[in-house]
Chain A
Amino acid sequence: MSGCPGDAPAAGSGDAAGVRSVIEVRNLRKAYAGTVAVDDVSFTVGEGEIFGILGPNGAGKTTTVECVEGLRKPDRGEISVLGLDPLRDHAELTQLLGAQLQESQLPAKLRVAEALDLYSSFYRAPADWRALLEALGLADKAGTPFGKLSGGQKQRLSVALALAGAPRIAVLDELTTGLDPQARRDTWELIEGVRDRGVTVVLVSHLMEEVERLCDRVALLDKGRVVALDTPAALAERVEVAQRIQFRPSGPLDDALLAGLPEVTSIIRRDDVVVVTGTGNVLNAVISVLARNQIVAKQLRVDQANLEDAFLELTGDHAAGRPADLAAAEEE
């Protein structure tokens, strides 16, 4: 399922079939002192999309984008960014690709406006940094030293710096790590705003929610390999995870009624709550049986497979990562 994703249309963006690719990575491999960080990674990123690179810690996400940025030399494989070789054409690439690096700081006493003014001066055709300051909600922080900014403000500034050169591609690595939920949501809106300006975004993340919300397509990395590449919704659909239905019956319910259904795999009672797991159209089957017996399912809850399930399934981590109660249910 890694293969040649360039052929797979980016279903998430709808019109992606005819979009030209701005990043092409083929059979990338990189090892450090004998440890293989990235092995045979291939993907393409289409112009104007938000492309996610998702994976657990140590999956090789950062190494992959560092090769794309030209910060590291691949052991094998080919990378083309806007037709450029990230190492050979590094000077030209830096004009077109803006990067936000993981855990990258600025001098503590450098002020926000000074940082933006300085970074814009590096580029041939820089963005208007005062407008960026405004757009990122940092206008009132122009004179504040970097060291005195909050975590969210620092991240916003680093996004602004990544955009200072008016790049065509922005690579954002672990942008929202360490931010509180509100700051995280604000940052997401910001990234959508960046894409709306026509900038292609590569987003490195280990947060399911973030990728599900933002990305048109996702490459799921595990142990240095691409284990899946698709839209977040398609990835979630791919997983045949048992559905779990949980409800409080309005009247007495004989378990045998449900146990006889072919879709049901197990029934557990926890006090007066019934937990049914099953596959296929188990929800319809259960509700029909309840309706026939004039029983109402109160406080009905259905857990469906989402990107997180797909993530756990595809990274082979599900034994450790599944919710504990589900694992317990399987034992009974």
Chain B
Amino acid sequence: MSVATQAPAVRRSALARLTITEFRLLLREPLLVFWGFAFPLLLLIVLGLIPAFKQTHAGYRGLTVLDSYVPILIVLMLAMLSYFALPTVLASYREQGILRRLRTTPAGAFRVLAAQLLVNFLSAAVMVALILVVARLAFAVPFPLAPGVWVVIALLTAAGTLTVGLFVAAVAPTGRAASAIGSIMFYPLMFFSGLYLPIPSMPPVLQHICHATPLGAAWESFQDAALGHWPPALALATMVAYPVAFGLAAARLFRWE
């Protein structure tokens, strides 16, 4: 097998090795691979083939329905990785004593947590690029008019979902519990991002709720960046508040064993 033949000419750092290992393990989970990687792309292709999605819509400020669905797919992919993959793996590592075992090695348990964050973040980055390129080449969805702003929004969104995932990993006693909590959060949060019903088509009360949720605020902000400007301060504040709050809570509550 490949591992046995790699001559470590340059000894890679423990973090790099852990990250590669965690990525291999992620690829060995067919459900995560499907829902995290294949499903968002499949959905993009299916939606791209529906003529109605090429229509513009008043609520979308001149963008087509498909244009507006691209950020939803990105949010969907981030939610899959952050709410399911990350907390399930970390909570089961704690449950199985893997974190404790690593604490007795020079690598320490913190590095595996960092490796998990890196794996999910890097996978998400590759997926974002893929989604944008496929949408552009196959379905003529334009690249964002303010790419810098768009990248900032994407980073804030990833920070928001990953810290919520860490929070779930911190409070869930077992891997099973983590995946249960993940799915309880996933469906309502995805609803508020407009996955099932676009936010502009919702009644005003629901729209306000959407703007206050991390994924709803993310969608609105992606729309702004696509149109070439910064999102309103309130949306930005929302997008900063979630990662800060959940990041601090996760750091306080996380236990290695």
Contact = CB atoms under 8 A, between A and B. Distances in A.
A8 B71 CA distance: 72
B14 interface: yes
Contact of A123 (B28, B96, B106): B106
B1 A111 contact: yes
B4 A122 contact: no
Contacts of A110: 21, 25
B17 A104 contact: no
Contacts of A119: 105
A142 interface: yes
A278 interface: no
B1 A109 contact: no
A105 interface: yes
A114 B106 contact: no
A193 B104 CA distance: 22
Contact of A71 (B8, B17, B93, B104): B104
A165 B1 contact: no
A199 to B, nearest CB: 15
B3 A103 contact: no
A97 B106 contact: no
Contact of A105 (B12, B28, B97): B97
Nearest to A116: B3
Nearest to A94: B106
A122 B14 contact: yes
Given A71-B100, A104-B98, A107-B98, A114 B14 contact: no
Contact of B28 (A99, A109, A142, A165): A109
A114 B93 contact: no
Given A104-B98, A105-B97, A118 B4 contact: no
Interface residues of B, number: 27
Residue from B14, B29, B105 with most neighbouring chain A CB atoms (10 Å): B105
Interface string A91-132: 100110111010111110111011001110111100000100
B11 interface: yes
Nearest to B22: A107
B197 to A, nearest CB: 38
B18 interface: yes
A69 interface: yes
Nearest to A106: B98
Contacts of B98: 104-107
B24 interface: yes
B21 A111 contact: no
B107 interface: yes
Given A110-B21, A113-B3, A122-B107, A101 B11 contact: no
Interface in B210-234: none
B97 A101 contact: yes
B88 to A, nearest CB: 12
A107 B25 contact: yes
B101 A101 contact: yes
A201 to B, nearest CB: 15
A280 interface: no
Given A105-B96, A113-B4, A142-B1, A118 B104 contact: no
Interface string B10-43: 0110100110010011001100000000000000
A94 B104 contact: yes
B208 interface: no
13 contacts: A69-B104, A71-B103, A91-B106, A103-B97, A106-B101, A110-B21, A111-B1, A113-B1, A114-B21, A117-B6, A122-B105, A123-B105, A161-B101
Interface of A: 69-71, 91, 94-95, 97-99, 101, 103-107, 109-111, 113-114, 117-119, 121-124, 130, 142-143, 161, 165
Given A69-B104, A109-B25, A121-B14, 10 more contacts: A94-B105, A99-B101, A99-B104, A101-B100, A101-B101, A103-B97, A105-B97, A110-B21, A111-B3, A121-B17
CB-based closest 5 A-B pairs: A104-B97, A105-B96, A99-B104, A122-B107, A109-B28
